[in-house]
Amino acid sequence: MLTKLQQETINNTACYVQQKLANDYSGHDMAHIERVVHLAKKIQQSEPQSNEFIIIIAAYLHDVIDDKVIENVQAARQELIGFIEQQHVDKNDLQEIMTIIDNMSFSKNLTEKKSLSLEGKIVQDADRLDAIGAIGIGRTFLYGGKKKHIMHDPHAMPRNKMSVEDYRQPSTVINHFYEKLFLLKDQMNTSMGMQIAQERHRFLVEFVDRFEQEWLGK
C-alpha cells in the first residue's frame, strides 16, 4: 500500500516526465510511459513481494535519460538525480531506481545480460511488452520514420550478435523485428510477462509474414 507521500512523489514524477517527453514523436512519448506503468502495475500484482513504489517510479522514468530520446545523457542523468532527491526519496530507493533505468534497456543487454532486481525485471518486462503486439508494430514504424529508415529491403539481411554501436546504425523497419522484437518473448523475466508476451509475439509473426507476402505482390 502506497503512502500519501509516495503517491505525491509519483504524481510529481508523472508531471516531470510529461514535461521531458512532451515533444517526442519516436514512440517514446507519455502515452508509452503510461502503458508501461500500467503493465508494470499488472505484473507487480503477481509479484507481491516486490516494491510497488520503486516499480512505478522506475517505470515512469525509464526513458528520460535514454540515448534514443536524449542527446546529452549525462546532463539529463544529473538533472534527474537532482529531481528525485528533491522528492525526498530514500537514498537506497534512489540508487535502486537509477540502477534499473541505467541497465534495463535492450541495448544495454546486447553484449551481456545485466543483473536486475525483481523490481527491475518487472519494469523491463513491462517496457518490452509495449515493444511487441499491435502497439509495438505501430511504435516500430513511427520510430523508423522518425529516423528516416526505409521500411523493407529483401536483400538486406537482419544483423545478429550486435554491439551497441552496431545496433545504433540504420537498419530497415522490418529487420528491426528480426533483430529485436522477435527476441523479446524469450527474454521475459516474470511469469506474467511471459504470459502476455506469447499472444503479442504471435501477432508480430503474423504481421511480418503478411507484410512480406504483400511486399512481393501476393
> How far from 94 is each of 53, 65, 100, 159, 162, CA to CA, in Å?
11, 15, 10, 36, 31
Record the pTM.
0.96
Question: How many other CB atoms are there within 10 angstroms of residue 206's CB atom?
Answer: 10
Report the pLDDT value the prediction gives residue 15, as an integer from 0 to 100. Answer: 98
- What is the pLDDT, as a whole number, of residue 142? 97
CB 2 within 8 A of CB 52: yes
Q: Diameter of the chain by CA atoms?
A: 60
Mean pLDDT value across residues 21-38: 97
**Grid coordinates of 82:** 537532482
Question: CB atoms < 10 A from the CB of 95, how many?
Answer: 11
Please check whether residue 20 is in contact with residue 13, taking contact to mean a CB–CB distance below 8 angstroms: no
| pLDDT class of 165 with cuts at 50, 70, 90 | confident
Give per-residue pLDDT as tens, 72-111.
999 999 999 999 999 989 999 999 999 999 999 999 999 9
Residue 164 pLDDT level (bands cut at 50, 70, 90): confident
**Helices H, strands E: what count in the chain?**
10, 0
Spatial contact of 156 and 172, defined as CB atoms under 8 Å apart: yes
Domains of the chain (ranges; CATH) run 4-215 (1.10.3210.50)
Give the pLDDT confidence score for residue 100 in this predicted structure: 98
Q: What helix, strand, coil percent values describe the chain, rounded to 5?
A: 65, 0, 35
